Structure 1
Amino acid sequence: MDDFLKEHFQRVRQVLSPPEPEPVRQVAEALCFPAFHPETLLRVVDRTEGSTILFRTTDSGLWGSEESTEPTEIEERTFVPFERAKQFWDAMSELNPVSIRPMESCGCDGMSINAMFQAGDQKSEFETWSPELDTPEGRFVELIYDLAWDVLQTPEAVLGLEHLHCYLKKGPGVTVTTGSVNRLRIFGSLSFGDEGALLAYFSEFDLNEPLLVDMTNFDGMGTCLYPEFIKFANSHQNIAWAVSPNARHHVEAMRFPKETCFDTTDDAIQWLNRP
């Protein structure tokens, strides 16, 4: 089994981790192997002309796929604004990644991560599994992830980052966007322990303004959260739900009106903007 895993890790690195053209000043990367989502590379590169971040993944996992039928590769590379890049590299310098020596850990679920940091002629590599964010290895991964979250913009990259979010123990997957139609995006999974944070998000919205609840990348939740969702839905005058197949199961179980539930955000917004 160990040999099989090594071969898999090597194959993923060959597919997702291309060598960087020289010269580079610093590199920090996390090659992520989530248990239930496609493998993903996050790499930050510092050159004299500035810093870039690279996101690479595939449309389906490489685990178990045939080499003759490789999944489609997905990539976004973008420049990092100077001040945000400085903040990132200063935090990395303070962390001192070459000193990281994580304790061995493994599990059936969660996420394995192959990490690498290079600055000049100093290079450090380590492996970790579902690290706590208050450990050096967890902080290393979090710094890279947070930068990616701040900078990457393509829908494919955002979706991939949402997939990783649930493995990094960063709280419930929720974002809020305000506009002519306010949007509450809920992704990943929710548990009873997320109730307090979820209620805080619920309280941010004006009850009389149109609201889209975007659950198109939602996996599931416990029924213990149903009462709060029902109370939230009933309190809004104009609310619509865009749902994944998994989310539809939950909204139907909570008996939300069928005419308020849609497969796409575009259809939901069109309904919210009805005369």
Structure 2
Amino acid sequence: MPEDTEDNELNAKRWAWWRTVSARLEDASSWEVLWRLRVFWGTQGPTAKQAALLRQFIPEFKGRSITEVGEWLAGTAWKEWRTLFAEDARRLQKEAEARGFRVETVQEGLDDPAIAHVRSLLRAHGDAHPEAARYWISFLPSFHEGGCILVTLGPGESLVSVASRAQHETVPVPDERGLRFLEELAALDPLGIPGGNQIGLDGIYLTCLVEERQGRREFSTWSPDPKQYPREHGFVWAVYQLAADLIRDPVTCRFLEEMFGYLNDNDERLPVRHFDEVPRRIRLFGSLSSMKAKALEALFASVSPDEPLLMDLSSFEGMGTSQYPLFARFHSRPGRTAWWVNRIATMQLLGAGLPRSHLHDTLEAARAALLDAS
């Protein structure tokens, strides 16, 4: 494919969602307009006086020295926020203009009603339980639809909510899993996470909120590399993994699987989910490179030889032919395996030598094949 044609296709994908969202403006009764806002101060970074003023109203700069703010913004001409709700954009604009800064606001799109619903859960929980903990991430990826994750911990029931594509799901967080999540965050000191790394073209823009008894912290980050930005990445991954462990709705699961490709920092980590069902289901999604061969072998080895198993490849995006023997060997074990497949998985599993009679187009058909054989 010619390089310029490929670039055009990538650009088309990148902006397809924004065009779709913009087209909904005429029917926006259930959608909330989102805004992009920039605060300007000059061309070579803020002066000491401007840095002092910025500390007064920009959340991530509160508590930092004038020197730190100046060093952080050195060589820049503005600071930008994306996907702001109108209320938040108006507040920032008012605060900035009151201190003499020039402000530019641009309508960016519309908020999915499901995301607006989860945002309302955040506000309601904060009003009812100001002393409790809340963790929020908004996802704005380059090539997929955006979404959000909200974690609310106590008092009473702890919950995780996920929203995308006009669909939202809220499920309880078991006490043991919630404690493990809090331990992961405690190691990161979430109220001190700096955020603010540079924005790129291909990746994901993340806006994060931490609300705990000890304080409140907002920060944004772009595709945080775990080596350069370990705390930003650690926070995002902990929230993401909690949701991925518990969410079950097919639409919200698909959103989380798409985000995995943006957030995964380990080329050897499998895109896999386990479902505690009868019969047990293991879901492989995305694509499998040769670097994942050892992890795939370990996954297959973890299954009892006689256990009936439903392998879910309904969102599979492909693998190299070097992986075929692993699938063929696993399928030949004594226990029966039924495969829920899409078009790509069907083609590749047939290429690996699996019988067509064990490949099924629906979850119900795959499950019935296992139950009928037991």
Q: TM-score, normalised by structure 1?
A: 0.79
Q: Which residue of 1 aligns with 2:225?
A: 132
Structure number with the bigger relative contact order (C-alpha 8 A, sep ≥ 6) is: 1
Give the Cα–Cα distance (whole angstroms) in 1 for the partners of residues 251 and 281 of structure 2.
Answer: 19
SS at match of 2:304: coil
Aligned counterpart for 1:151 among listed residues 233, 246, 264: 246
Give the Cα–Cα distance (whole angstroms) in 2 for the partners of residues 108 and 218 of structure 1.
Answer: 26
Give the Cα–Cα distance (whole angstroms) in 2 for the partners of residues 204 and 83 of structure 1.
Answer: 23
Q: Which residue of 2 aligns with 1:175?
A: 273
Residue 250 in 1 paired to residue 348 in 2?
yes
Q: Which residue of 1 aligns with 2:27?
A: none
Q: Which residue of 1 aligns with 2:290?
A: 192
Give the Cα–Cα distance (whole angstroms) in 2 for the partners of residues 274 and 254 of structure 1.
Answer: 25
Compute the RMSD of aligned alpha carbons: 3.1
SS at match of 1:227: helix
CA distance 1:12–1:255, change in 2 (3 Å): farther
1:181 Cα deviation after fit? 3.5
CA distance 1:219–1:48, change in 2 (3 Å): same
1:216 Cα deviation after fit? 0.9
CA distance 1:101–1:132, change in 2 (3 Å): same
Give the Cα–Cα distance (whole angstroms) in 1 for the partners of residues 346 and 136 of structure 2.
Answer: 36
Percent same amino acid among aligned pairs? 28
SS at match of 1:95: coil
Residue 40 in 1 paired to residue 147 in 2?
yes
Greater CA radius of gyration, 1 or 2? 2
Q: Deviations over 1:50-98 (max 9, x none)?
A: 533221111xxxxxxxxxxxxxx11122343445434434543442223
CA distance 1:97–1:179, change in 2 (3 Å): closer
Aligned counterpart for 1:9 among listed residues 79, 83, 98: 83
Residue 164 in 1 paired to residue 259 in 2?
yes
Give the Cα–Cα distance (whole angstroms) in 2 for the partners of residues 79 and 257 of structure 1.
Answer: 40
Write the letter of the residue equivalent to 2:235.
Answer: F
* Contact in 2 for aligned 1:188/1:217 (Cα 8 Å): yes
Report the count of equivalent residues: 259
Give the Cα–Cα distance (whole angstroms) in 2 for the partners of residues 222 and 12 of structure 1.
Answer: 39
Aligned counterpart for 2:308 among listed residues 171, 188, 210: 210
SS at match of 1:256: coil
> Structure 1: where are the runs of 5+ without partners?
59-72
Give the Cα–Cα distance (whole angstroms) in 2 for the partners of residues 162 and 230 of structure 1.
Answer: 25
1:30 Cα deviation after fit? 0.9
Aligned counterpart for 1:229 among listed residues 327, 338, 355: 327
Write the letter of the residue equivalent to 1:147.
Answer: L
CA distance 1:139–1:12, change in 2 (3 Å): farther
Q: Which residue of 2 aligns with 1:67?
A: none
CA distance 1:236–1:165, change in 2 (3 Å): farther
Q: Which residue of 1 aligns with 2:162?
A: 55
7-16 or 90-99, which moves further after superposition?
7-16
SS at match of 1:205: coil
CA distance 1:240–1:80, change in 2 (3 Å): closer
CA distance 1:236–1:128, change in 2 (3 Å): farther
Write the letter of the residue equivalent to 1:27.
Answer: R
Residue 117 in 1 paired to residue 210 in 2?
yes
20-29 or 120-129, which moves further after superposition?
120-129
* Contact in 2 for aligned 1:133/1:142 (Cα 8 Å): no
Give the Cα–Cα distance (whole angstroms) in 2 for the partners of residues 108 and 47 of structure 1.
Answer: 38
Write the letter of the residue equivalent to 2:348.
Answer: H
* Contact in 2 for aligned 1:27/1:117 (Cα 8 Å): yes
1:173 Cα deviation after fit? 1.5
CA distance 1:182–1:236, change in 2 (3 Å): farther
